[in-house]
A and B are shown apart, each in its own frame.
Chain A
Amino acid sequence: MSMVDPILALTAFTTVVVFVAILFWPRHGLASRIGRLLRITERVRMEDALKHLFDGEYTGKTCSVESVAGALEISRARAARLVNQLEAMELMHSDGRGLPLTKAGREYALRLLRTHRLWERYLADRTNVKPADWHEQAERQEHTLAPAETEALAARIGHPLYDPHGDPIPTATGEMPPQSGVPLTALTPGQSGAVVHLEDEPREVFQKILDAGLVPLMRVQVIDMTPEKIRFTADGTTLELDPVAATNVTVVPLPQGEVGEGPFDNLASLKSGESATVVQIAPTCQGLHRRRLLDLGFVPGTLVTAELEGALRDPVAYRVRSTLIALRKQQAEWIHIDRSDQAVRS
């Protein structure tokens, strides 16, 4: 019985594997690219234009055919055609001075915005997707989710009020509270505030803000300001940002004395046998993670003792309220503690 030459077989095999990889590699593979091309349909462009116009209204900037062309990265002629289409669908009317939306247009835009922000919240709370990718993925989903699916999603993640950037999510009936807060640059040294919004475009600036470690709900206190940079504390750690990035951070000023004294130790730093009291769970820990930690008893004021380290050092078992709970290092880092003796003894 003739046997296939092994070298020939291996070569054939490798060729097939390489071919499959070229086709199906995530994001860069042919199949992925073709899919992306097919998705950007006319309707998608139209909805993007609508969103741009709504954003202009909400933030008070005037829009024009040029701004639409710029935002969508298409030619002026195509932009003009889109604007005409929107007008024909009675979603906006041009009155010479700008491109204001009609009531129907505004409602449509709010629905898109709701889907977008709900999806970002879902990505932030329930998935491992990186923060810089949320916006892009939500951009895709807002065009494909049907209204019923959006409502199902909202129910699934607990009808959240804010997206992970700190922006309010329009309700199902299309309401949204007005934007509040001031840019970080408007605070004076010594003043504190709570972060309510991080602008996600342009992406590079957003990445800088993320790299600095900022997230919504953090308490910040300005230390000093120079034309080159602003120094401030956020949840106890000292950070720096350049003024451009700082303008993209919106805060709500807080009355004096509301910021907790940081920096805080976290639970992961406890050695076996040591005890501490829980101060808080880091504001950056939200959603299901936060619920679970609270339900397990890690509420402020609780005494925690590190008892056992596993054979591989991670996870560590902590004795909290007479129970041994094992947490991974990444989770223990979210729990801020106070190790001082008086806190422990009380």
Chain B
Amino acid sequence: MAASVSSACDACSVGRAASLVQLGVRLDRWDFLVALAGNPNTGKSTVFNALTGLRQHTGNWPGKTVARAEGGYRHAGRRIKLIDLPGTYSLNAGSADEEVARDFILFGRPDVTVVVVDATRLERNLNLAIQILAITDRVVICLNLVDEAKRRGIGTDVVKLSQLLGVPVVPTVARRGDGIPELLDAIHGVAAGEVKTSPFRIDHYSPDLEAAVERLSRHLERVFPELSNSRWVALRLLAGDGSITTAVRTGEIGTLREDGAPYPGSMATAPSPVSDSSRSDELLALAEELRWTLSPEFQDSLTESSYAAAQTIVQSSTLRGLRRSGFDLDRSLDRLLTSRWLGFPVMLVILSAVFWMTIAGANIPSGAIAALLLDMGHPALKDLAAGIGMPWWVSGILIDGVYLATAWVVAVMLPPMAIFFPLFTLLEDFGYLPRVAFNLDKLFQKAGAHGKQALTMCMGFGCNAAGVVSTRVIDSPRERLIAIITNNFSLCNGRWPTQILIASIFIGALAPAHIAGLVSATAVVSVAVVGIGAMLLASWALSRTVLRGEATTFSLELPPYRPPRIIRTLYTSLIDRTVIVLWRAIVFAAPAGAVIWLLANLHVGGLSIAELMISWLDPFGLLLGLNGVILLAYVVAIPANEIVIPTVLMLTVLTLKLGGVGAGSGVMFELESPSATSDLLRAGGWTLLTGINLMLFSLLHNPCSTTLYTVYKETRSVKWTTLSAALPLAMGFTVCFLIAQIWRIATGL
């Protein structure tokens, strides 16, 4: 019977509560702790959502950048906390994901571990299940996707399977909610101790391994009598597992009672780590000695035994003679999407469709929000401020600065992101994205990176910060860093308006009117492609210099195509994205707005600070084929790329001292038509060179502050964050500089 955790137990360092706190889980207010494990692509998150509804939130495992979802539900009068472990192929602790999952099941001692397996791929999935059964008794198998299995003519004798594995097996179709009530009952039964389990365990390995395991596990049981999985611990010691070795040395391994209760008796009789260290050392010495007797490949035989056992179990419990329905849509679809001739074109079409839907679809909502917040809201607030007698400079900072910048970012950013990310998530749920990584991997391999970088790159086209977070799908730290540092070369949503505007003013204007639109669109697409090229080049350079080294353990699973849950995805994606944009606007853009207003309105020696800085930056700017206004705009717009153009326009008006244009000094604005903007810019001395270099600089400059902040959070390293800012900036300066000189030589200036 699982003991409820009382406050005395919380304080005891031997209790489970202490290790859970270390693993980042607070146990107050919950009766049972349940962990959800399984291979990737088994529908585990669907099961998680089905159990917790919307009562969940995502965070990180402490000390690791591995995402964790936790949630809760009520059942049979108990409150249950559910932790979603990362999807893993095994628990051999070869990657951060596997380490996290293994550590939680072992040290966190959940009351029940639910293993989600895919009924169409039972043999493979059971490998993980068998490993979990070796660690803990309290397991429930959730046999998910039985509807797909039926379609493919695969049937499972659930009763037989349950007998063979020694634990409850519950068939479910999590997507439809079938089998969920039975799953809840099974979880409750095992957690409350009403259902006894006798888990399947492999009891004979190859002769020398078996001898070593027997000897070591018997010794283990002498030193730690309460240990219920001594054979598994013995195996891990023989494999040289670091955290298990430490747990044995400190004696912690002996405190891991299955039911999570503290050691019987008072704290005084619990084996204190210090006094038993000699016995632990003896144990570890024995383990070391036995390791030398085993062939170096014994770990292979472990996996082989595991798969062999899985195969036997599945063969005994599979029902034969079921009819397959329909033809294999999956295979035909795959042949199309990855074929030599059609693979790339189809990919381009799909991605272009996503971009086009984002741009076209965002137009109207953006305009509406702008009309509301800027055209109506701004003057209204100013009147209000005047009405209550607010001093001009306070209303300037707050309304012209902070409010305006925030409103701008929201109006420009929110609609495209709210369209792009749901579309992207739908593609991901459908199963198409791994095929993209599959198609493009060769390119990335040549650049020393991982195929999944193609996906983080695509994500970066929506928002670079989101792209950086999405690099978690890449296991190897080195390749992940490459993906993080080069993500900025994906032209994010916030920079598209700048690109489109400048392209239509300077490049489209060169073409005859009827194809001007097409020409500007092509120019923007070319810049995006240059970005992709820059990313590959930078990845290659990084993998030859500072990020040389750690080899890749590449592998990519191509999951079967599954119909995405459209409504649910739209809803969660929308909420997530909206929240992020609003938060970002307030945190980063608001202060920027204040700074912009101040720069333009604080005067030193007769000139505003802005004008001083512009004249100071001008020589450098001109050298690069840009100008001081642009450079200053980029400095103040580090928080958000969206406000670059409005700031540029405001600064141009300021320096040219043009009356009648704009809304006052320090107030950002945009003009109705591109031709009006064109006139203003040309009056400020802009040429075709300036336009081209601005487009390139907008692509190749430091990431916005949200992205930098995200990079820091993901890498926890000042060094890499600095590099991620310095590299694109250096490339931007160099490229603009070279183009400016060559241009000037060519045009004889």
Chain A residues engaging chain B, CB cutoff 8 angstroms:
1, 3-4, 6-7, 9-10, 13, 26, 126-129, 154-156, 158-162, 168, 171, 173, 177, 217, 281, 283, 288-297, 299-302, 307-315, 317, 321-328, 331
Assembled-state Cα–Cα distance A293/B303 (Å): 10
B628 to chain A, nearest CB (A): 11
Contact, CB under 8 Å: B549 / A317? no
- Given A3-B749, A4-B623, A9-B741, verify A126-B442 contact (CB < 8 Å): no
16 contacts between A and B (CB under 8 A): A6-B740, A7-B745, A160-B240, A161-B292, A162-B296, A294-B304, A296-B89, A299-B303, A301-B308, A313-B340, A315-B556, A322-B124, A323-B124, A326-B555, A326-B557, A327-B555
The residue of chain B having its C-beta at the shortest distance from the C-beta of A172 within the complex is B288
A120 to chain B, nearest CB (A): 14
For A3, A295, A309, which residue has the most chain B Cβ atoms within 10 angstroms?
A: A295
- Given A9-B623, A295-B127, A311-B339, verify A289-B441 contact (CB < 8 Å): no
The 0/1 profile, CB within 8 Å of A marked 1, for residues 126-142 of chain B is 01000000000000000
Contact, CB under 8 Å: A158 / B241? yes
B239, B438, B439, B554: which contacts A331 (Cβ < 8 A)?
B554
Assembled-state Cα–Cα distance A171/B738 (Å): 57
The residue of chain A having its C-beta at the shortest distance from the C-beta of B339 within the complex is A311
A28 to chain B, nearest CB (A): 14
Interface residues of B in 539-580 (CB under 8 A from A): 545, 548-551, 553-559
CB contacts (< 8 Å) of A162 on chain B: these are 296
B553 to chain A, nearest CB (A): 5
Contact, CB under 8 Å: A297 / B124? yes
B288, B622, B737: which contacts A3 (Cβ < 8 A)?
B622
CB contacts (< 8 Å) of A10 on chain B: these are 738, 741
A127, A310, A324, A331: which contacts B549 (Cβ < 8 A)?
A127
The 7 A-B residue pairs with the shortest CB-CB distance, nearest first, are A159-B240, A311-B343, A155-B242, A312-B442, A6-B741, A324-B558, A127-B549
CB contacts (< 8 Å) of A156 on chain B: these are 242
Assembled-state Cα–Cα distance A51/B742 (Å): 59
A35 to chain B, nearest CB (A): 16
The residue of chain A having its C-beta at the shortest distance from the C-beta of B557 within the complex is A325
CB contacts (< 8 Å) of A154 on chain B: these are 242
Contact, CB under 8 Å: B549 / A129? yes
Contact, CB under 8 Å: B304 / A321? no
A158, A288, A297: which contacts B553 (Cβ < 8 A)?
A288
- Given A129-B549, A326-B555, verify A6-B745 contact (CB < 8 Å): yes
CB contacts (< 8 Å) of A158 on chain B: these are 239-242
CB contacts (< 8 Å) of A313 on chain B: these are 340, 442
CB contacts (< 8 Å) of A317 on chain B: these are 334, 338, 438, 558
CB contacts (< 8 Å) of A26 on chain B: these are 545
The residue of chain A having its C-beta at the shortest distance from the C-beta of B243 within the complex is A155
The residue of chain A having its C-beta at the shortest distance from the C-beta of B310 within the complex is A321
Contact, CB under 8 Å: A161 / B296? yes
CB contacts (< 8 Å) of B738 on chain A: these are 10, 13
Assembled-state Cα–Cα distance A331/B122 (Å): 25
Interface residues of B in 84-107 (CB under 8 A from A): 89-90, 92, 94
CB contacts (< 8 Å) of A168 on chain B: these are 292
- Add 16 more A-B contacts to A317-B334, A326-B438 (CB < 8 A): A13-B738, A127-B551, A128-B548, A161-B291, A294-B303, A308-B438, A308-B558, A309-B340, A310-B343, A310-B438, A311-B343, A312-B442, A314-B441, A314-B442, A315-B441, A322-B124
CB contacts (< 8 Å) of B550 on chain A: these are 126-128
For A9, A173, A293, which residue has the most chain B Cβ atoms within 10 angstroms?
A: A9
Assembled-state Cα–Cα distance A322/B42 (Å): 13
B121, B347, B440, B742: which contacts A321 (Cβ < 8 A)?
B121
B647 at the interface (CB under 8 A from A): no
Chain B residues engaging chain A, CB cutoff 8 angstroms:
89-90, 92, 94, 120-121, 123-124, 127, 239-242, 245-246, 285, 288, 291-292, 296-297, 299-300, 303-304, 307-308, 331, 334-335, 338-340, 343-344, 347, 434, 438-443, 445, 451, 545, 548-551, 553-559, 618-619, 622-623, 737-738, 740-742, 744-745, 749
CB contacts (< 8 Å) of B239 on chain A: these are 158
The residue of chain B having its C-beta at the shortest distance from the C-beta of A194 within the complex is B295
Assembled-state Cα–Cα distance A1/B684 (Å): 13
Assembled-state Cα–Cα distance A297/B331 (Å): 21
- Given A317-B558, A322-B120, verify A128-B551 contact (CB < 8 Å): yes
- Given A161-B292, A309-B338, A326-B438, verify A292-B300 contact (CB < 8 Å): no
A311 to chain B, nearest CB (A): 3
A102 to chain B, nearest CB (A): 24
B292, B347, B740, B745: which contacts A177 (Cβ < 8 A)?
B292
Contact, CB under 8 Å: B553 / A328? no
The residue of chain A having its C-beta at the shortest distance from the C-beta of B128 within the complex is A295
- Given A6-B744, A13-B737, A310-B338, verify A292-B553 contact (CB < 8 Å): yes
The residue of chain A having its C-beta at the shortest distance from the C-beta of B124 within the complex is A321
Contact, CB under 8 Å: B441 / A299? no
The residue of chain B having its C-beta at the shortest distance from the C-beta of A283 within the complex is B297
CB contacts (< 8 Å) of B347 on chain A: these are 311
CB contacts (< 8 Å) of A322 on chain B: these are 120-121, 123-124
CB contacts (< 8 Å) of B443 on chain A: these are 312
CB contacts (< 8 Å) of A283 on chain B: these are 297
CB contacts (< 8 Å) of A307 on chain B: these are 331, 334
CB contacts (< 8 Å) of A300 on chain B: these are 304
A90 to chain B, nearest CB (A): 28
B480 to chain A, nearest CB (A): 14
B240 to chain A, nearest CB (A): 3
Assembled-state Cα–Cα distance A324/B127 (Å): 16
CB contacts (< 8 Å) of B745 on chain A: these are 6-7
A159, A173, A292: which contacts B555 (Cβ < 8 A)?
A292
Assembled-state Cα–Cα distance A291/B304 (Å): 12
A302 to chain B, nearest CB (A): 7
Contact, CB under 8 Å: B338 / A311? yes
- Given A6-B741, A291-B92, A308-B338, verify A325-B556 contact (CB < 8 Å): yes
Contact, CB under 8 Å: B307 / A297? yes
Assembled-state Cα–Cα distance A200/B600 (Å): 68
CB contacts (< 8 Å) of B288 on chain A: these are 171
Assembled-state Cα–Cα distance A295/B128 (Å): 9
Assembled-state Cα–Cα distance A68/B280 (Å): 42
Assembled-state Cα–Cα distance A245/B553 (Å): 33
- Given A155-B242, A291-B94, verify A324-B557 contact (CB < 8 Å): yes
CB contacts (< 8 Å) of A155 on chain B: these are 242, 245-246
Contact, CB under 8 Å: A310 / B442? yes
Assembled-state Cα–Cα distance A162/B288 (Å): 13
Assembled-state Cα–Cα distance A295/B306 (Å): 10
CB contacts (< 8 Å) of A294 on chain B: these are 299-300, 303-304
Contact, CB under 8 Å: A292 / B94? yes
B117 to chain A, nearest CB (A): 12
